[in-house]
Amino acid sequence: MKTDRFHLQIIPTKNILIHEEFDPSRSSDLIEKFKKSNLLTEPIIVASLGDHQYLQLDGMNRLNCFKKLGLKTIMAQVVDYNNQEEVELSSWIHLFQSKREDFFKHIKKDKNLTIKKANIDQIGPRYIKEKDFGRLVTVVDKKEGSFLVMTAGNFIDKVKRMNYVVSFYENIINRSILPFTLTSRNIRLFFQEHPHLNFYDTPDTNLMIVFPNFTPQQIIEVVRNGALVPAGITRHLIKGRCLNVNVPLTFFDNKKSLAQLNRDFDRFLLKKAIRVYEESTIYFE
């Protein structure tokens, strides 16, 4: 169904190109949730690339779970990736516990990466420098301040090195967004607002990784080159995101044609009442 406010469609999972690594830690719980509820609540978000191909923007875990469940199609909200009023692209930050010395030892094993001390005004995200020497990510230590991880190389090389940085803690990714105003006090308060980082009685420190922002064209370039950005970095804000659609998993019948599934899907949607909220919302998970 395509309206002037949204475009919902059933599309084959094989036609969806992914742009980010898969976070396996979330797979088992989500599959069990699907089996228990028998519902796909929200559509994944994709952008059309033409020739019946789509780029996954949001919903990587749902997409992978559908594949593991043997379902060949999935509900998607199709958006215009070139329309900045419809899609805003920014970055998440990652939070985790580790000894900073161990993390930096991991980083230094890659001879292409260097580390230098930074000022607080250098913490905020910047667009990645596509070539030559520049900042890759910023590391913030709750106790010792901030550091820049720098590298040279082309854009795809830098994306691969970003994956190497994240590989140190890829099974314990906690995402968040930076506070609006970056001061030493706000950073300390920010760490305190994430009590899960202080749960374990260990000598480890709390670390924050701030990633660069990407443009939609850069994400497409990553996919075209057969690369992937690390899991949980890209943050796509969709104007008019469809929620609470609640399609039964039995709807995704592999024996039906794609045309038939979409006809059935349109009839399903026509029976639903729709509310449009223009204001931003806060959603508790």
Q: Which domains, and CATH codes, for the chain? A: 8-86+239-270 (3.90.1530.10), 92-234 (3.30.1760.10)
- SS3 annotation, the chain: CECCCCEEEEEEHHHEECCECCCHHHHHHHHHHHHHHCEECCCEEEEEEECCEEEEEECHHHHHHHHHCCCCEEEEEEECCCCCCCEEEEECEEEEEECHHHHHHHHHCCCCEEEEEECHHHCCCCECCCCCCEEEEEEEECCCEEEEEEECCCHHHHHHHHHHHHCCCHHHCEEECCCCCCCHHHHHHHHHCCHHHHCCCCCCEEEEEECCECCHHHHHHHHHCCCCECCCCEEEEECCCCCCCCEEHHHCCCCCCHHHHHHHHHHHHHCCCCCCCCCCCCCCC
- Tell me what the mean pLDDT of segment 182-202 comes to: 66
pLDDT in tens, 65-110: 999 999 999 999 999 999 988 999 999 999 988 889 999 999 999 9
Q: Is it the case that residue 153 has pLDDT exceeding 80?
A: yes
pLDDT at 49 over 90: yes
The lowest-confidence range among 97-101, 118-122, 268-272 is 118-122
pLDDT band, residue 196 (cuts 50/70/90): low
Q: Mean per-residue pLDDT for 251-275?
A: 95
pLDDT at 202: 53
For residue 130, what pLDDT is reported?
A: 86
Predicted confidence at residue 206, as pLDDT, reads 84
